[in-house]
């Protein structure tokens, strides 16, 4: 049986609930212009930086006139900060990181978001870059999720095999990326992704508090065949 040596975490919606406030910020901008943000199209953007849907372009099309992108971007940032000011790590995250450290496991982040976005949040939450063995962001791969490139780069930096890692994701784009990288994936959906079909995941938890890390490691070991057989 191959031993697990590393845990790779998505960022948005998995470590911190950033996805709901971003949606709510854009929802507010749409409503200020007399329109509703299409939730079905917005969902395609979660977990990736390469979605076809662009809310700015969509809103311009809906109102039939040009918008000032700089002004809209400023509003989005201001509304997001207001909505996320009191955010903390999601339940169970701190326990998993602590237990991973005690067990000698490597920990990494694989995110379709920018490095600046990820690291600013990590510093605010007092788990900055020094707490991680690798942080892989969209600048580090040619393609973002659902492409497996971010996960493959994380494996390379951690110096572990796909069979030696577990990926934690909250979205279908992230689950597909981990799956295609050959990594055992655990779906932990957030408020925005709870209704997505995450059946491609190897395991689904309602929260990281549902199953302690040691129990999860035992279950992963029992559910995977020995690659040598």
pLDDT digits (tens, 9 = 90+) for 50-86: 888 999 999 999 999 999 999 999 999 999 889 887 7
pLDDT of residue 81: 86
Measured distance CA(224)–CA(46) in Å, rounded: 29
pLDDT for 101-154, tens place per residue?
Answer: 999 999 999 999 999 999 999 998 889 889 999 999 999 999 999 999 999 999
Banded pLDDT at 169 (limits 50, 70, 90): very high
pTM of the model: 0.88
Residues 6+ apart with CB under 8 A from 99: 212, 213, 214
Q: What are phi and psi of 180, to 5 degrees?
A: -70, -15
Per the prediction, the chain carries an average pLDDT of 93
Measured distance CA(89)–CA(125) in Å, rounded: 7
Inter-residue long-range contacts of 142-145, CB under 8 Å, 24+ positions, other chains counted? 143/50, 144/48, 144/49, 144/50, 144/112, 145/47, 145/48, 145/112, 145/171, 145/173, 145/174, 145/176, 145/177
Top mean pLDDT of 13-22, 37-46, 174-183 is at 174-183
pLDDT of residue 225: 55
Catalytic residues: 10, 12
């Amino acid at each position: 049986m191959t031993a697990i040596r590393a845990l790779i975490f998505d960022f948005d919606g998995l470590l911190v609930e950033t996805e709901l406030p971003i949606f709510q910020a854009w929802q507010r901008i749409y409503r200020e212009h007399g329109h509703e943000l299409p939730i079905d199209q917005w969902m395609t953007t979660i977990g990736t930086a390469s979605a076809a849907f662009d809310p700015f372009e969509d809103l311009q099309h809906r109102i039939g006139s040009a918008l000032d992108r700089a002004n809209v971007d400023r509003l989005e940032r201001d509304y997001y900060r207001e909505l996320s000011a009191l955010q903390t790590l999601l339940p169970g995250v701190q326990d998993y990181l602590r237990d991973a450290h005690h067990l000698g496991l490597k920990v990494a982040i694989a995110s379709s978001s920018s490095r600046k976005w990820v690291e600013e949040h990590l510093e605010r939450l007092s788990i900055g870059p020094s707490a991680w063995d690798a942080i892989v962001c969209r600048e580090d791969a040619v393609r973002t999720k659902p492409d497996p490139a971010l996960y493959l780069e994380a494996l390379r930096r951690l110096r572990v095999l796909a069979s030696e890692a577990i990926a934690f994701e909250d979205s279908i784009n992230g689950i597909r990326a981990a799956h295609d990288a050959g990594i055992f994936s655990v779906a932990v959906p957030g408020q925005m992704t709870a209704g997505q079909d995450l059946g491609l995941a190897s395991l689904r938890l309602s929260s990281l508090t549902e199953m302690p890390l040691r129990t999860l490691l035992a279950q992963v070991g029992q559910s995977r065949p020995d690659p040598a057989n």
